[in-house]
Amino acid sequence: MKVDQKGHTTIIKDTQNNAEAFVGKITNEYHVFQGQNLILDVSNNKTLSNADLAHFKELAKTHKKAKKSMIIVSDEVDFNKVPNYLNVVPSVLEAHDMIEMDEIERDLGF
């Protein structure tokens, strides 16, 4: 797990290609990241499937309650089958753009 912080956003990169273990590590250290927007970069995991995204459900719900964004980066999943409670994009640049849009919506009260 590689962590990089830029402003109000933390990028966490999965280095072990195991979605379940990755989510477990983030959950265990969540107190460190809870005040930040999160980009969870699992783009190196070429075996990631839509079923693996279920591991992110509780973390996504917890982070949304904190009024922060959590974006998953992967180009291996079928975007048409991604659950509504998750935000998945194919690149880190798009993740940053999505966080910016979320921040604007929160500032406007949506």
Whole-prediction pTM: 0.93
Q: Could you read off the pLDDT of 44-82 as tens digits, one per residue?
A: 999 999 999 999 999 999 999 999 999 999 999 999 999
Asked whether residue 11 carries a pLDDT value surpassing 90, the answer given is yes
> What is the CATH number that goes with domain 2-108?
3.30.750.24
Q: In what order do the strands lie in the sheet with 9-13?
A: 2-6, 9-13, 37-41, 70-73, 87-89
pLDDT at residue 97 above 90? yes
* Contacts of 16 by beta carbon, 8 Å cutoff, 6+ apart: 1, 22
**How far is Cα 2 from Cα 41, in angstroms, rounded to an integer?**
9
Q: Give me the residue spans of the domains in the chain.
A: 2-108
Locate tokens 């982070």: which residue? 63
Cα torsion for 32, 35, 36, 38, to the nearest 10°?
70
